[in-house]
Amino acid sequence: MIDLKLLLKILFGDPVHPPIPNIRTSKDDTLYFDGLTRGTAISGDPGTGKTSWEAGELKRYAITFPDGPIIVYDLNSSLTNEFNTQIELMPDSPEKENIQKRIVVDIPGHETHVLPKPIFSPEHGLSEEDLVQVVTSIIEELNPEKIALTPMMAQSLEVTAPQLARLIMAIRNEYGESWQVTEGKKLLMDEGMLKKACKEYGHFVPEAKWYFENQLLAKGVTPQGYEARTSALIGTLSAIESRPLRARYGHYRPHITYKEIIDKGLIYFVSGEKIANQEKVQAWVYWCEFALLRALINLRTPHDPNDKPVLIVIDEVYKLFEIRGMANALGQISTYFRSRKLMAVVIIQAFWQLDERFQEQYWNFGNIISFAMSNHNDAYTISQQLGQYNPTSEKFRARSNHSQPVAEADRGQYLMMANWLQNLKARQMVMRRYSTEQEKDPYLRFVEKTRDKLTGTLRAPIAEIKEEIFKRRAIPIRDALEVINKRTLQKETKPPSA
């Protein structure tokens, strides 16, 4: 009797996917927009086509929702470049024009220009206490090991940080513009200045004034004690001392806020190519961005139909994934994010690159896309997750477990699928997707080749086009620093006899 497998092979050639129940080969490589609130996680080896595919999805989303806000945190800048290339190559049309008007490019660490993003500003649409919490969360999340170390360190961070933030915000000039985190270190390192700040401005923030005068600056505190209480804070604030970052965080007014992005449906890229080699800065910049966004999303009432969905894509920003608060946040994807319409997409290469906490949260994402994953353990993990999802896998087990324990049958299936995932070609992918917020597509989809992207000649190199867009809102660093460098405690400038 002829083997069935052999017969199929003779008739149809090599099968494109292994006999996994409920998998279907599909030309359609898109997600359902209605399922995006479930969150989307994309993994795959370098160069398999993750970013190009996501750029295509973003383009489709941007066209479909002309006032839908999109936020992209992109460490290696390829998603920013790819998206902007694809938009540039669109034939002229009202859609193209609409998208181009909405794009804002932010390049932290740029040598000559800066998109100012000071934290302390009413333009964020957040209360002063919300802003204090944003700063406190930066200090805490960037120092997990110090908080764990000694009670003194923990106190210095958890107590001193919010009080310092309150005091800084209370120091305002005649235009009502406050100091910024860029002055925090100076205040902590110069006791005389800190005392003066408490004296002149402390009455606006009595709690902070009391803390500094009666705790940190109290008579009993030795210089060593003072240093112990402040050094971790000073260390964290040192990460933003370079000229570009001082300009970014020290300017008196943000040139873009999440409030504006959401209200106007802008498309905002934080392109990290200039800070690619500065890990501390990456953590600062991207966590600060996310903390500001989350503070605004926190103001939403769950399931409010008037809230605009916000799409946020994070392409390989591993420093951000390492942050405990980020993993915790993504752990709430199916509850908190979903009810407040924050739709997250994360892109990674491999699980072994991820922090453990983040790995655990990965399976909370509803839409899971895997390009080739050459690491066997990673491929096996994905197979297990996608296999479990399969609604008919019970049947599969029932058929195949006559002589073997169920676990063995499963293991066989997972191994087969893992082996296949390891050997996918570039631009091939497997997709589990939600068709609506509640319902899954009944099939796992195998895409033999992701859609072709537009090709053509750009009017200028993409780096130049990006700079051009960046400079629509950016200002020279020199100008931003000029304002910052002039900051003094007003009384300080008067002659001593006055």
- Residue 49 interacting entry, from Mg ion, ligand ATP, none, C-beta within 5 to 8 Å by type: ligand ATP
Number of neighbours of residue 90 by Cβ within 10 angstroms: 16
Closest CB 483 distance from ligand ATP, rounded Å: 38
Q: Is 78 in the site for ligand ATP (CB under 6 A)?
A: yes
Number of neighbours of residue 220 by Cβ within 10 angstroms: 6
Q: Which residues contact 52 (CB under 8 A, 6 or more apart)?
A: 82, 450, 453
List C-alpha distances in Å: 84 to 93, 205, 216, 282, 460. 15, 46, 50, 23, 12
Q: Is 84 in the site for ligand ATP (CB under 6 A)?
A: no
* DSSP state letter for 124: G
Say if residues 152 and 285 touch (Cβ distance below 8 Å): no
47, 144, 461, 476: which one binds ligand ATP (CB under 6 A): 47
Residue by residue, DSSP assigns 328-352 as HHHHTIIIIIHHTTEEEEEEES-GG
Two tokens at 416? 């087969």
How many residues bind ligand ATP (CB under 6 A)? The answer is 15
17, 300, 451, 473: which one binds ligand ATP (CB under 6 A): 451
How many residues bind Mg ion (CB under 5 A)? The answer is 2
- Tell me whether residue 44 or residue 184 sits nearer to ligand ATP (CB atom): 44
Listed ranges 42-50, 118-126, 359-367, 482-490: which one lies at the site for ligand ATP (CB under 6 A): 42-50
- Tell me whether residue 240 or residue 369 sits nearer to ligand ATP (CB atom): 369
* Interatomic CA distance for residues 428 and 442, integer angstroms: 20
- Tell me whether residue 40 or residue 450 sits nearer to ligand ATP (CB atom): 450
Number of neighbours of residue 273 by Cβ within 10 angstroms: 18
Q: Taking the CA of residue 8 as centre, how many other CA atoms within 13 Å lie in the half-sphere pointing to its CB?
A: 9
* DSSP state letter for 178: B
- Tell me whether residue 75 or residue 164 sits nearer to Mg ion (CB atom): 75
* DSSP state letter for 300: S
- Residue 80 interacting entry, from ligand ATP, Mg ion, none, C-beta within 5 to 8 Å by type: none
Closest CB 409 distance from ligand ATP, rounded Å: 33
Say if residues 351 and 377 touch (Cβ distance below 8 Å): yes
Q: Is 52 in the site for ligand ATP (CB under 6 A)?
A: yes
* Interatomic CA distance for residues 82 and 56, integer angstroms: 9
Two tokens at 239? 């990460």
Tell me the sheet residues that pair with 315.
Answer: 74, 347
4, 151, 452, 493: which one binds ligand ATP (CB under 6 A): 452
Q: Is 271 in the site for ligand ATP (CB under 6 A)?
A: no
Q: Is 352 in the site for ligand ATP (CB under 6 A)?
A: no
- Residue 453 interacting entry, from ligand ATP, Mg ion, none, C-beta within 5 to 8 Å by type: ligand ATP
Closest CB 60 distance from Mg ion, rounded Å: 18
Q: Is 349 in the site for ligand ATP (CB under 6 A)?
A: yes
Q: Is 110 in the site for ligand ATP (CB under 6 A)?
A: no
48, 178, 236, 257: which one binds ligand ATP (CB under 6 A): 48
Site of tokens 């319902």:
439
- Residue 121 interacting entry, from ligand ATP, Mg ion, none, C-beta within 5 to 8 Å by type: none
* DSSP state letter for 391: T
* Interatomic CA distance for residues 341 and 112, integer angstroms: 36
Closest CB 351 distance from Mg ion, rounded Å: 16
37, 121, 393, 450: which one binds ligand ATP (CB under 6 A): 450
Say if residues 103 and 469 touch (Cβ distance below 8 Å): yes
- Residue 451 interacting entry, from Mg ion, ligand ATP, none, C-beta within 5 to 8 Å by type: ligand ATP
Which residues, 42 to 71, sit near Mg ion by CB under 5 A?
51
Could you list the residues that contact ligand ATP (CB under 6 A)? 44, 46-52, 78, 349, 427, 450-453
Q: Which residues bind Mg ion (CB under 5 A)?
A: 51, 78
